[in-house]
Structure 1
Amino acid sequence: MDSSDINSDRPLGRDDLTGTDTPESQVPAQRGPAPSEAGGSDNGAGGAGDPAAAEANEPPQEERYWKAGRLEPMPIRTLPKAPPSIHLLGPTVFLVALGVGMGESYMWPRLVLIFGPEIRWLFLIGVSLQAVVMLEMSRYAMATGESIFFGAARVFKPLMWFFFVTAMLVYIWPGHLSAGASAFERVSGIPWQATAVAGMLLVGVVFTLAKVIYNLLENVLSILIGVLVVGTSVVAALVGNLADLSSTITGMFAFGYMPEEAMSPAWFPVIVGSIAFAGPSGMQQMWYTLHLRDKGAGMGTHIPRIRGLRHADEQETMPTRGFMFDTSNSDEMAKWKGWRRWVTFDAFVLFWGITMLVTISFTVLAQASARFDPNVANVIRGGDRDAALDAMAASFTAAGSPIFGTVFFLFISLIGLNATLGLFDSFSRGQADMTYYFIPGAKRFSMSKLYAFFLWGVIGFGIAILLFGPADGPAGILDTLAFLSTFAMGAYCVTLLLVNNLMLPKPVRPGILSNLIIAFAAVFYLGMLFYSLFAFGVVVS
């Protein structure tokens, strides 16, 4: 393949896009997507147009393609019109559900109790980097309808298989649900193993019965996130004071603050892990590209949605690759800018804003708990991992009523549920996507059936671990798993740079500022990780 097919600096024109090297290029000219390519009628982000109907009025023309890498070229299709930029619901809710987890409610409050709110400047950097990563993850997905995994395979297939294996190693352990179930045990007395097993089975049954899994999850997670944001804000206002809020906010701008203890073998790996968990960690940003596709964002409108196993036979046939729009057409580029505004609002208002609001609430609670229990920092230094949560629950209770302590642990349970819903869906979605497109023979199963296979596989493994093994996974490989999770973040930044700059037409590639930020993120994550490894012999904790 001529490298100019990938790296051309020109907008897409007819000569660049006409394919002659695939069987599809020999089919008669079409008026629109073939029935197997058009996607379901219930697809599309709110306000998106019907590209198939629009193309039906166009005269027949020769099929055109965009060649990217050594895989099948992408046919040119019409980009739907973008919905309004300002909106409430969207695929960001999945990242918020995955991101507002133990990092915001446990890891960062613990650091604040030890080092003070000034340590939160590192959180600001972490969550801001992730907002930019989210924007750049969306670029390829919305321009092509393909996941970032497919984009990675276009660059170099082993790169995609690295993420497939990493997901299997890192995300099969039921850690989030176990933490939430443990918090629920404190207020209900029900053994956490029983709650966790029941929760996993419930998630599996609900996902199996859902007609379109994305619709169900978007609605449920939106409600749960709303309860969490409002609830934590109200309780933080009751427990904390204006001084706590002021120090929490100003602490975010104490750039360069790094006490000597923070650079110790005991705490530097914890800080590295906390930065990685400032928002969604590991591969969660990569899975976001699949949620964009099921939302029908950009060219994702041409891809059918994943259905629950009960409705798997209703799923339309998946195309064998994504699609590209004509970047030489000014009207198409105007619609593309509309989609970029839509996802930018998602990244900086919904994702960044909600994540920041929740972590501010928990930081206020941490400072309030230090006033109620001045010895809590020493207890944490002594190795009591639950001391931070217990202290915050005690501050709730001291604020006026024992019921507040119960409410706090219910919030932790809610966080565990949010993360479990998001992780189970995302893991199954990502593995099914890579299996369907790149494992020989997998296409004889629908994407929905492969999704169900991985969903019930991770549920079965989780139940077995909860009942017969260590709930957090074998202790001997925990450091390795944490290492892989953080390493994956540096790796996906490198992958983003390659995919967006090599596989997309120049008019929709990222600008130099975006590339510099993603390159900095790669160095930031990988540099801190390997410094921790070689300086202290310890990976992320």
Structure 2
Amino acid sequence: MDSSRPETGGTPGSADKSPTDSQIPFVPAQRQPSTVESDTSSTATTAGGAPPQEERVWKAGRLEPMPIRPLPKAPPSIHILGPTVFLVALGVGMGESYMWPRLVLVFGPEIRWLFLVGVSLQAVVMLEMSRYAMATGESIFYGAARVFKPLMWFFFLTAILVYIWPGHLSAGASAFERVTGIPWQMTAVAGMLLVGVVFTLAKVIYNLLESVLSICIGLLVVGTSVVAAMVGNLSDLTSTISGMFAFGYFPPEAMTAAWFPIIVGSVAFAGPSGMQQMWYTLHLRDKGAGMGAHIPQIRGLRHSGEQETMPSRGFMFDTSDPAEMAKWKGWRRWVTFDAMVLFWGITMLVTISFTVLAQASARFDPNVADLIRAGDRDASLDAMASSFSAAGSPVLGTVFFCFIALIGLNATLGLFDSFSRGQADMTYNFVPGAKKIGVSKLYAMFLWGLIVFGILVLLFGPADGPAAILDVLAFLSAFAMGAYCVVLLLVNNLTLPKPIRPGIVSNAVIAFAALFYLGALFYSLFAFGVVVD
């Protein structure tokens, strides 16, 4: 796996350090009417005392214009895991391993057509999130601020309200306790401290995390596939796959107050949920995708003194230059492979494995569906562990809970990094005086603040957050998904040059996603008085 960034002809971030940065080799093409403008405020004087050289910029919104820079050449389209590993780590969580197997046990594999819709929508969202990030080197949060700053602050506050609760880590630690007998609180606290220390000592956080998560995801994909092949049979696999195409199947029981909110939540959380797609734009930047190659990578606190100066805005390439547009198409092919093969494919493979396991568990324990209907939330996990054991050895039941613990670890690593990265990005760019602290130190502050709060909650309070606000948090998480689709439409269509804006089909899919997420959420709220579960 290659975690290196594309070559841009200079040190990342150096564009903002040198007074001659406007002299980067660039052949101006035909001027973009009323969009690309000359900026004499950041000019350079030649050695012979010639008049200052005008720098071309792209104006988007009321924030600082983006200087025109060369777009790096795209790497080969077919590649090993890159930034997608973060979405896979965050997406392949309790939804794929718990929520959807539970629905299959109650309603049958035909209900999986809704999963296909959900994960396919997420793949298109991923492609459109990447459009802005690769074209500018800015996060989608910065793009939202270019449209309307309060939009960005909504996501800043939502992240704090929703993602400070250590629920994923608690679920993984609970599974680990069933294997080892070690109290889950002890494991969860030790896990958070370990994550903090590792991220603090890392030279470049992205490179370390991409490598670790790639190994964990590889173990999860291979392990679940092998055990599913041992436990399930051809009939389980056939019904799992055919169920994905049973479009329109929706039994009457699914429209009840007990199950409709669960189904809505399961569809919304097929793949990454909440703000995870928005954080993906920051991982693309640290990978050096597109114009992100001009932005420095975030370093661990120990190496924060080596952090290059972070520019106060992103960059744009010359969209009227055919050579630049050819490179842009190369980047779009690269991220399309990421979205459709790696993200969509790996997520689908893991959930197929868990669905096969769920169907096999129903044969070993025919009463599991009744237990789930009666409110036993752990019945599906216990049944799948039993089917593992029945496949050959009680050791396999232990392996299953190890998979659940691994899922919790993957999600924790991804969430801790993503939350800290997103909050640091918004704070650095839009809180007065934050630039004096530096983005690496801001990252560390949010990371350790999250860890300290999580430890306090684990030791002295409910790990999933106060019961009184759980519905509010669930609502905000799902609402954020509909909201970011609306923001995505605004950002991509109002702030990008016309040649690289999304087409009518992409816009239609994102608009449908916004209506689906928000419509289903509010219907569940007003029809049943319940938000997603």
1:530 aligns with 522
Deviation (angstroms), 1:27: 4.5
1:186 matches 2:178: yes
SS at 1:64's partner residue? strand
Q: Within 5 A, what are the aligned runs for 1:1-400?
A: 13=32, 16-20=35-39, 23-24=41-42, 26-28=43-45, 62-400=54-392
Deviation (angstroms), 1:28: 3.9
**For the residues of structure 1 that align with 2:38 and 2:399, how far apart are their CA atoms?**
61
SS at 1:278's partner residue? coil
Give deviations 1:37-81, integer Å, cap 9, x for gaps: xxxxxxxxxxxxxxxxxxxxxxx9531100000000000000000
- The code of the aligned residue for 2:278 comes to M
Give deviations 1:176-226, integer Å, cap 9, x for gaps: 000000000001000000000000000000000000000000000000000
2:492 aligns with 500
- Structure 1: 4+ residue segments shifted above 2 A: 10-20, 26-30
Q: Within 5 A, what are the aligned runs for 1:423-462?
A: 423-462=415-454
Deviation (angstroms), 1:16: 4.3
Deviation (angstroms), 1:12: 5.2
**For the residues of structure 1 that align with 2:160 and 2:407, how far apart are their CA atoms?**
23
Deviation (angstroms), 1:23: 3.4
1:485 aligns with 477
Unaligned 5+ runs, structure 1:
1-9, 31-59
- The code of the aligned residue for 1:142 comes to M
Give deviations 1:83-115, integer Å, cap 9, x for gaps: 000001210000000000000000000000110
Q: Contact 2:37/2:59 (CA < 8 Å) preserved in 1?
A: no
Q: Contact 1:150/1:160 (CA < 8 Å) preserved in 2?
A: yes
Percent identity over the alignment? 83
**For the residues of structure 2 that align with 1:399 and 1:502, how far apart are their CA atoms?**
56
Q: Contact 2:110/2:249 (CA < 8 Å) preserved in 1?
A: yes
**For the residues of structure 2 that align with 1:379 and 1:527, how far apart are their CA atoms?**
31
SS at 1:125's partner residue? helix
**For the residues of structure 1 that align with 2:33 and 2:299, how far apart are their CA atoms?**
36
Give deviations 1:243-276, integer Å, cap 9, x for gaps: 0000000000111111111100000000011111
Q: TM-score, normalised by structure 1?
A: 0.91
- The code of the aligned residue for 1:329 comes to D
Q: Contact 1:141/1:289 (CA < 8 Å) preserved in 2?
A: yes
**For the residues of structure 1 that align with 2:431 and 2:475, how far apart are their CA atoms?**
27
**For the residues of structure 1 that align with 2:445 and 2:100, how far apart are their CA atoms?**
35
- The code of the aligned residue for 1:440 comes to P
Give deviations 1:450-478, integer Å, cap 9, x for gaps: 00000000001100000001111001111
Q: Contact 1:142/1:300 (CA < 8 Å) preserved in 2?
A: yes
- The code of the aligned residue for 2:264 comes to V
Deviation (angstroms), 1:18: 2.9
Q: Contact 1:12/1:505 (CA < 8 Å) preserved in 2?
A: no
**For the residues of structure 2 that align with 1:16 and 1:67, how far apart are their CA atoms?**
6
Q: TM-score, normalised by structure 2?
A: 0.93
- The code of the aligned residue for 1:23 comes to S
Q: Contact 1:490/1:523 (CA < 8 Å) preserved in 2?
A: yes
SS at 1:63's partner residue? strand
- Among 397, 400, 407, which residue is 1:408 paired with? 400
- The code of the aligned residue for 1:425 comes to D
**For the residues of structure 2 that align with 1:420 and 1:295, how far apart are their CA atoms?**
20
SS at 2:531's partner residue? coil
SS at 1:70's partner residue? coil
**For the residues of structure 2 that align with 1:265 and 1:28, how far apart are their CA atoms?**
70
1:471 matches 2:488: no
SS at 2:382's partner residue? helix
How many residues get paired? 501
- The code of the aligned residue for 2:142 comes to F
1:53 aligns with none
- The code of the aligned residue for 1:294 comes to D
- The code of the aligned residue for 2:37 comes to T
Q: Contact 2:172/2:407 (CA < 8 Å) preserved in 1?
A: yes
Distance 1:319 1:262, change over 3 A: same
Unaligned 5+ runs, structure 2:
1-28
- The code of the aligned residue for 1:185 comes to E
**For the residues of structure 2 that align with 1:320 and 1:28, how far apart are their CA atoms?**
22
Deviation (angstroms), 1:277: 1.1
Give deviations 1:354-381, integer Å, cap 9, x for gaps: 0000000000000000000000011111
SS at 2:38's partner residue? coil
1:42 aligns with none
**For the residues of structure 2 that align with 1:14 and 1:304, how far apart are their CA atoms?**
31
Q: Contact 2:137/2:294 (CA < 8 Å) preserved in 1?
A: yes
Q: Contact 2:44/2:53 (CA < 8 Å) preserved in 1?
A: no
2:7 aligns with none
Instruction: Say what the alpha-carbon RMSD is for the aligned residues.
Output: 1.4
Give deviations 1:390-448, integer Å, cap 9, x for gaps: 00000000111000000000000000000000000000000000000001110101100
SS at 2:337's partner residue? helix
**For the residues of structure 2 that align with 1:473 and 1:110, how far apart are their CA atoms?**
23
